[in-house]
A and B are shown apart, each in its own frame.
Chain A
Amino acid sequence: MAEHHAELCALLLRESYGELAAQVYSKLAHVGRSTLPTLISHSGLPSRHVRIIIAVLIQQHLVFHYTPEADGMTFYEVNSENAYNLLRSGKIAKVVADRHGEDAAQVISNLMQLGHARIDDLEGAYKLNSHTNGVSNAATDHVNGEDAASGHNAKKITSVAQLHSVLYKLLKAGLISKVRKRDFNSVADTHNDAETIVKREEFPDGKVTGPKAKLAFDSSVFSLKRKWREETDAWDPRSASRGIINRSDGRPIKRARVNGYGNGVGRYEEDEGIMLEGDMIIAVNYEKCLVALRSQQLERLAARLIGDTTAKVYASLLILVERKVHRCYDDLAVYADEDHEAESQPDSTTLEISDILDPRLDLVTSIGSEDGPDMTNGYHSGDDEMGDTPVKKENVEANSYRDRNKRLKLIEQHMNLLAEHPRRFVTKIGSLGQGQWRVNFPALIKGMQRTEIETVVNSRFGTIATRIVRMLAMKGKLEEKQLANLALMRQKDIRSILTNMQEVGLVDAQEVPKDNRRQPSGSYYLWYFDHDRCRQLIISDLYKAMARLIQRAQHEKDQYSALIEKAERLDVVGHEEEYLTANDKNGLREWREKEEKLLTQLERQDDVVALLRDFSAQ
């Protein structure tokens, strides 16, 4: 696993930062946490190069550095999570564009390229008010899946006010965050820090002896780490405001909705005109971006299993609950049991959903008639269309309430569809706000992970194997005979399927001796399915497969390199018709299609990685 991950990350680094950076990264990943001299001697590269590269990688948050208080030696360690994140930048930009507009997507893309930036520097980079538009896109390589051309008509950042307003919006959504010193330290370093502090403050003699002291020590370290996290999470972007500026274009500040749907929860409430502190350093908050990606995958699943409209209602709920969490799962949270964890999941209400749901969404025709399959849908008549029949003036207000209540009822119906689905997309926990809905993420994600594992099982061993895996996952350990009975299969037919799957580790068997002679003949075998083990196996395969996709993309590019160089020549750009032959154009199209296919696949594989690795606790 680690080896495939390192291979993949090195490839990603090479795409973005060149061969040398990839080499240094690989070496550091290989030797592990080490000092600069150690790294240099291992790398076999000129020390000057290594130093420069390490500096770049630190700026990009691809390498952690840490200087223990005791001696002044600095240790370096790869930030493999962020290295992997290079691959995700296109996907993150897309979700940001969908939710916050193209200008926000542009800002977040730029931030991903820069690693981190001071607000003032960012302002400078956009060269605002001059005529060049935005920062250079040169580093946006194809791995990011960012097609520069697709944004040619998009809203660009054109003024300081706009930049600040976008940044503030992203800060509030948590998609970017203020960088702290600790962000440059690895998890292990942070842990060590906490241990050092606890030792110094609570165990002045420096000794933690005996189980009781050890317990107290561990719990103090844990609490301290929690405290640090809570401090970070509690940070309010408003505290970084240095005042309000007037919009330079003189347009009035947009008001919240006025048609009775909104009550100040609109998108444009107070973002406008905020000016952020110039020396604050910001970076992309990948943890929170993952939350958005998780919502996307859940929405997609609901669309497939229930329908597009219900999924859109669900997406609104997910956006609301996103506001209440900082990350997909909290590894520093302590839950008494599964139920407690479920109860701690975020919720929101029908009323809040109606505030942010696209009012144009047709909620009626997407639910069938109560009367069953043979009836035509009676709902879709004119009486639901507002303003179809002339209305008396005094009725207008009553009507607007009536319409609003009708819509709330419809939203509630869609929520109930989500609640009654066997996946339990939501759980109703109260009737506050016309229905209060909780999303039990741990259970949902586990179910989706299993679906993903089953998909892999299905593609390798067929549907009967999938049936067996599902049975084992739901029923626990089973003997071959019980399995056959439950699966309505002959024992001899499932035996080979079981052993084939066992060979690759997707299922396993436990030997249970019938007596204490413990002879193999006197034993029976209980088959079982290990969810986490399967996850790890598939993640490892994914890393390897992704590396192959990138290598192949590189190979294809090499094949067409002469052509690509020609098309990128300065005299050719803009004069393609003159300089490129029909053959040239065909070749280029061929290459683009191949590249597109490879990169689409890469993104889809990353979806699986996100689901299996990032959406739940390891």
Chain B
Amino acid sequence: MTVVEDQGATLYEKCLATALSSPEGKAKLFYQEELIAFGIVDNVADLMGLCQGLMHAQLLRLMQLDNKTCFALRTKEIANKVVTLAEEERMVYNQIENTGTNGIWQKNIKQRTGLHQTAITRAMKTLETKRLVKQIKSVKNPAQKIYMLSHLSPNEDVTGGPWFSDGELDIELIGVTADAVVHFIEKQSWARGFVKRERSPSPGMDGIEEAGMKRKRTDDIEGVHTKSRKRHDMVETQISFPPGYRGYPTVSAIHHFIRESGFIKEDVVLTEGDIKGLLDVLVFDDRIEQIGNGYRTVRGVQGATEAMMGMVHGKAPIDMIEDVEGNGLTQAPCGRCPVFNLCEEGGPVNARNCEYFEAWLRA
């Protein structure tokens, strides 16, 4: 290896190490000053020589940013493949590479390279077989194919965020993640406690005593400790943690849980904003509530809504009418009656001949 080759290799290694420890990672761009600062050579001309060599080996590529020249890295693995590309293929590759995680439409490649469509199609085929580029779907324009380097993950503008798969909102993924999140939160939301539930009076019970119990609020308090006969059962229930309790899961704890549980693919960016969005939905669904600086489940809630779970299994959202407790209206036949608007006293449909009532009263 020549000295120059050696120096070139050192420069590349330095760049790679710097890039990997930088916040941008492999996508870090280097300006001339930074490269000089590595101290491998002491003048710009020599530096340019080294860069030339690396560019030739396809390990480095030249870019323009704000009218300044800068350099970007390629991994050795990719560089080795790019070296073998023909001229037209490389032109196409460069265009795709330049658009980074946004991807590029075929017609834009055509515009920018000035190549003929057939040439592009051919080049594209090679690039795809060499696994250098891939096709992806964009949420913005699902019909249009866009291209991106294989090792990149499309950014959120393209994918729509972590809840999208192949450019479509992944209802199933949202459903199972939501359900898991609710269970996760639930475990830390309430203490288990036992409460006394007064037994319903047995049939033979003395009526006077019964009335006496009902009135206990107005009784004399002297009677407090005398009524020790057992009139209640202990029932397990969710009891509240003390006020100001700090053990409720926070957004970042929930973030961590989702990451760790593997619902979302490793390479997908999952921001706290994404988590907050999901938690908001669960708040709207009355599954969880904000408390202190965290979340807890609404008392009694066990998981995601049936509608959410139903959609996981391919049901239409409109089909899912939750069988929740409801109120006086929704539980009565008229509250759910399909002919409510037609029903009137003396009319063909009325409360007297109503079948819904018949069924409801028998139930």
**In chain A, residues 157-183, which have Cβ atoms closer than 8 Å to a Cβ of chain B?**
none
A545 on interface, CB distance cutoff 8 Å: yes
A594 on interface, CB distance cutoff 8 Å: yes
How many angstroms between the C-alpha atoms of A544 and B292 in the bound complex? 43
How many angstroms between the C-alpha atoms of A112 and B163 in the bound complex? 60
A99 on interface, CB distance cutoff 8 Å: yes
B327 partner, pick from A362, A422, A452, beta carbons under 8 A: A452
Q: Identify 9 residue pairs between A and B in the complex whose beta-carbon atoms are under 8 Å apart, listed by A's number.
A: A101-B218, A304-B300, A368-B245, A462-B318, A471-B284, A488-B277, A489-B171, A545-B329, A597-B361
Which of chain B's residues has its CB closest to A542's CB?
B329
Contact partners of A511 in chain B: CB under 8 A: none
How many angstroms between the C-alpha atoms of A448 and B9 in the bound complex? 70
* 9 extra interface residue pairs, beta carbon distance < 8 Å, beyond A99-B217, A358-B216: A365-B193, A373-B187, A373-B189, A413-B242, A421-B289, A455-B327, A459-B336, A488-B169, A490-B168
Q: Is the CB of A305 within 8 A of B299?
A: yes
Q: Is the CB of B328 within 8 A of A607?
A: yes
**A603 with B217, Cβ < 8 A, contacts A422-B291, A462-B322, A488-B278 known:** no
Interface string of B247-279 (1 = CB under 8 A from A): 100000000000000000000000000000110
How many angstroms between the C-alpha atoms of A486 and B324 in the bound complex? 24
How many angstroms between the C-alpha atoms of A572 and B169 in the bound complex? 71
**A413 with B243, Cβ < 8 A, contacts A153-B211, A601-B332 known:** yes
A416 partner, pick from B216, B238, B243, B335, beta carbons under 8 A: B243
**A466 with B285, Cβ < 8 A, contacts A152-B207, A308-B195, A489-B317 known:** yes
Q: Which of B210, B220, B332 has the most CB of A within 10 A?
A: B332
Q: How close is A463's CB to chain B, nearest CB, in angstroms?
A: 4
A91 on interface, CB distance cutoff 8 Å: no
**In chain B, residues 337-353, which have Cβ atoms closer than 8 Å to a Cβ of chain A?**
340, 343, 345, 350-352
Which of chain B's residues has its CB closest to A487's CB?
B281
Q: Which of B174, B308, B321, B335 has the most CB of A within 10 A?
A: B335
Interface string of A408-423 (1 = CB under 8 A from B): 0000010011011110
**A153 with B247, Cβ < 8 A, contacts A488-B278, A551-B351 known:** no
Q: Residues of A at under 8 Å CB distance from B?
A: 7, 97-102, 152-154, 254, 257, 259, 261, 267, 304-310, 358-360, 362, 365-370, 372-373, 377, 413, 416-417, 419-422, 452, 454-456, 458-464, 466-467, 470-471, 474, 486-490, 493-494, 496-497, 500, 538, 541-542, 544-545, 547-549, 551-552, 555-556, 594, 597-598, 601-608
Contact partners of B280 in chain A: CB under 8 A: 486
Q: How close is A85's CB to chain B, nearest CB, in angstroms?
A: 17
How many angstroms between the C-alpha atoms of A360 and B242 in the bound complex? 21
Q: Is the CB of A551 within 8 A of B171?
A: no
How many angstroms between the C-alpha atoms of A474 and B285 in the bound complex? 13
Q: How big is the B interface, by class? A: 35 or more
Q: Is the CB of B277 within 8 A of A608?
A: no
How many angstroms between the C-alpha atoms of A490 and B142 in the bound complex? 14
How many angstroms between the C-alpha atoms of A602 and B329 in the bound complex? 9
The 3 closest A-B pairs by CB, nearest first: A368-B191, A604-B328, A416-B243
Q: How close is A447's CB to chain B, nearest CB, in angstroms?
A: 12
Main secondary structure, interface of B, reads mixed
Q: Is the CB of B318 within 8 A of A461?
A: yes
B72 on interface, CB distance cutoff 8 Å: no
Q: Is the CB of A102 within 8 A of B215?
A: yes
Contact partners of A541 in chain B: CB under 8 A: 329, 334-335, 340
B307 on interface, CB distance cutoff 8 Å: yes
How many angstroms between the C-alpha atoms of A107 and B220 in the bound complex? 22
A304 partner, pick from B196, B299, B322, beta carbons under 8 A: B299
Which of chain A's residues has its CB closest to B243's CB?
A416
B340 partner, pick from A7, A261, A422, A544, beta carbons under 8 A: A544
Q: Is the CB of B332 within 8 A of A463?
A: no
How many angstroms between the C-alpha atoms of A420 and B290 in the bound complex? 10
Which of chain B's residues has its CB closest to A376's CB?
B192
Q: Is the CB of A367 within 8 A of B215?
A: no
Q: Is the CB of A419 within 8 A of B243?
A: yes
Q: Is the CB of A488 within 8 A of B281?
A: yes
B354 on interface, CB distance cutoff 8 Å: yes
B105 on interface, CB distance cutoff 8 Å: no
How many angstroms between the C-alpha atoms of A607 and B327 in the bound complex? 9
A456 partner, pick from B190, B192, B330, beta carbons under 8 A: B330
Q: Is the CB of A544 within 8 A of B334?
A: yes
B191 partner, pick from A369, A470, A549, beta carbons under 8 A: A369
Q: Is the CB of A307 within 8 A of B240?
A: yes
How many angstroms between the C-alpha atoms of A304 and B240 in the bound complex? 12
How many angstroms between the C-alpha atoms of A40 and B74 in the bound complex? 98
Q: Is the CB of A459 within 8 A of B243?
A: no
Contact partners of B322 in chain A: CB under 8 A: 458, 462-463
Q: Is the CB of A456 within 8 A of B327?
A: yes
Q: Is the CB of A368 within 8 A of B284?
A: no
B39 on interface, CB distance cutoff 8 Å: no
B221 partner, pick from A257, A365, A462, beta carbons under 8 A: A257
Contact partners of B326 in chain A: CB under 8 A: 455, 458-459
Q: Is the CB of B211 within 8 A of A102?
A: yes
How many angstroms between the C-alpha atoms of A141 and B187 in the bound complex? 50
Q: Is the CB of A552 within 8 A of B239?
A: no
B320 on interface, CB distance cutoff 8 Å: yes
Q: Is the CB of B218 within 8 A of A267?
A: yes
Q: How close is A475's CB to chain B, nearest CB, in angstroms?
A: 10
Q: How close is A307's CB to chain B, nearest CB, in angstroms?
A: 6
Q: How close is A494's CB to chain B, nearest CB, in angstroms?
A: 8
How many angstroms between the C-alpha atoms of A552 and B352 in the bound complex? 6
Contact partners of A372 in chain B: CB under 8 A: 188, 241, 247
Q: Which of B189, B207, B245, B284 has the most CB of A within 10 A?
A: B284
How many angstroms between the C-alpha atoms of A38 and B52 in the bound complex? 107
Q: Which of A359, A366, A460, A497 has the most CB of B within 10 A?
A: A366
B240 partner, pick from A101, A368, A538, beta carbons under 8 A: A368
Q: Is the CB of B174 within 8 A of A488?
A: yes
B316 on interface, CB distance cutoff 8 Å: yes
Contact partners of B208 in chain A: CB under 8 A: 153
Q: Is the CB of A368 within 8 A of B193?
A: yes
How many angstroms between the C-alpha atoms of A462 and B323 in the bound complex? 9
Q: Is the CB of A601 within 8 A of B330?
A: no
B144 on interface, CB distance cutoff 8 Å: no
How many angstroms between the C-alpha atoms of A267 and B241 in the bound complex? 33
How many angstroms between the C-alpha atoms of A604 and B216 in the bound complex? 25
Q: Is the CB of B163 within 8 A of A488?
A: yes
**A377 with B193, Cβ < 8 A, contacts A267-B218, A545-B334 known:** yes
Which of chain A's residues has its CB closest to B210's CB?
A153
Contact partners of B300 in chain A: CB under 8 A: 304
Contact partners of B189 in chain A: CB under 8 A: 373
B23 on interface, CB distance cutoff 8 Å: no
Contact partners of A368 in chain B: CB under 8 A: 190-193, 239-242, 245
